[in-house]
């Protein structure tokens, strides 16, 4: 549902906080569209791995500032 997009900005946070913020955002959601913003490839990979382990489909795209947007759908 496009009107229910949740965006979490975890840019610049140390490990494991981007994943913890993702966990918080996904908690209780059985489906939806969630976007996680991160600034490093490590955080992108960690968020992707975590979300996929929870059964979410993850697609990441590079942002203009060099960071990443990880788009999660279920």
- Contact flag: residue 13 with another protein (CB under 8 A): yes
Q: Which of 41, 55, 59, 63 binds another protein (CB under 8 A)?
A: 41
Q: Render 8-72 in DSSP notation, one character per residue.
A: EE-TTPPTTHHHHHHHHHHTT-SS-EEEEEESSHHHHHHHHHHHHHTT-EEEEEE-TTS-EEEEE
Question: Does residue 57 bind another protein (CB under 8 A)?
Answer: no
**Residue 16 binds another protein (CB under 8 A):** yes
10 vs 72 by CB, closer to another protein: 10
Cα(41)–Cα(15) distance, rounded to whole angstroms? 12
Residues in the site for another protein, rule: CB under 8 A? Answer: 9-17, 19-21, 23, 39-42, 45-46, 49-50, 53, 65-66
């Amino acid at each position: 549902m496009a009107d229910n997009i949740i965006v979490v900005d975890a840019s610049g946070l140390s490990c494991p906080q981007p994943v913890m913020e993702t966990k918080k955002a996904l908690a209780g959601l059985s489906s939806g569209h969630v976007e996680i913003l991160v600034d490093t490839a490590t955080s992108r990979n960690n968020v992707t791995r975590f979300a996929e382990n929870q059964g979410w489909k993850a697609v990441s795209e590079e942002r203009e500032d060099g960071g990443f947007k990880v788009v999660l759908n279920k």
